[in-house]
Amino acid sequence: MLNSAPSVKGNILGQKDFLTISDFTSDQIASILESAKKIKAKKTLGESYLPLKDKTLGMIFEKSSTRTRVSFEVGMLQLGGNALFLSSNDLQIGRGETIADTARVLSEYLDGIMIRTFSHERVEELAKYASIPVINGLTDLAHPCQALADLMTISEIKGPLKGLKMAYIGDGNNMAHSLMAACAKMGMHFSIACPNDYEPNQVCIQSAKLQGEKNGAEIIVTGDAAEAVKDADIIYSDVWTSMGQEKENEIRLEKFKDFQINGDLIQSAKHNFLFMHCLPAHRGEEVTSEVIDGPNSVIFHQAGNRLHAQKALLVDLMQ
């Protein structure tokens, strides 16, 4: 029963903060996924579950958002708490106040902080000086909340995660880093195809390979999209030009033109593969409408699970 879910802060994750998937064990990730599924079932059944009554989450946004803002705000409300939208333009950090001072001040008012920003170091510093839980809503290095929701979606549809193969086609960005780490932790094979000079961070690759060896997961980086997709259970894509890279757009369109997910490429995957995308998508660039709107696409199921996976995080960290 859900009422037996974590009642002590850090009961599942065992840590104050949620900054990267790599910080947690396979068992901890599996447990938080199960908690998310129970919380989702409660919501589906219309049962009241308010473990965060009178708690408040501060949401700092230095990068704009649709899914992150709405899912965290709605999640807190559904759990009985409150959420405050804190734009960097409205906070003193936008005028030079240090992250450390901001962390200490917000710790006096709030029960938790979610931050969506550029530099991962800013999130680490915020967590270092805050006495309350800090959740990474996205940085240039990692997008762990999205990866957690993705694992939840895959497990709901495919069952056990171990042994499945994910093919990621595109930029070796924050999304690739978090998915690669998540797959390695859960024993899922991970192949990423990207152009030269757009591979994932080498430290992230080596870390994932070490974890993969422990959990029976193969991590492959290649320049051949067809090779990566062969026999894949999941095909994943993200935009070729992320926020902050707009000046590189024309160069990236040229570099990535052979890495589009389309009707021809998916023929190498398993017939019942899942197509996933963290959204927003640039239709006609990284993926064609034929694929993103096709029968294998689960992008809106996936987006919906951001709400439930993050509610499980919030309960575990803030209850």
Q: Which two tokens stand for residue 191?
A: 């192949």
**Residue 143 falls in the annotated catalytic set:** yes
Binding-site sequence positions for L-ornithine? 174, 238, 242-243
Residues with Cβ within 8 Å of residue 19, at least 6 apart in sequence: 123, 124, 127, 134, 135, 136, 142, 144
Which listed residue (143, 189, 252, 277) is catalytic? Answer: 143
- Residue 127 CA from chain centroid, whole number: 18
Catalytic: which of 146, 211, 260, 302? Answer: 146
Q: Are 63 and 243 in contact (CB under 8 A)?
A: yes
CA distance 209 to 217: 8
With a CB cutoff of 8 Å and minimum separation 6, the contacts of 60 are: 86, 88, 91, 93, 113, 114, 115, 116, 117
Question: Looking only at Cα atoms, what is the longest distance across the chain?
Answer: 55
Tell me, yes or no, if 283 is annotated catalytic: no
Catalytic, out of 306, 308, 310, 316? 306
Q: Is 238 a catalytic residue?
A: yes
Q: What are the CA-CA distances from residue 309 to residues 18, 57, 115, 212, 239 (Å)?
A: 12, 16, 17, 23, 23
Binding site residue list for carbamoyl phosphate: 65-68, 92, 116, 143-146, 278-279, 306
Looking at 183, 194, 204, 278, which residue is catalytic? 278
Please confirm, yes or no, whether 278 is among the known catalytic residues: yes
| 28 among known catalytic residues | no
78 is catalytic: no
> What are the backbone angles phi and psi of residue 153, rounded to the nearest 5°?
-65, -45
The one catalytic residue in 111, 150, 238, 316 is 238
Q: Which residues are catalytic?
A: 116, 143, 146, 238, 278, 306
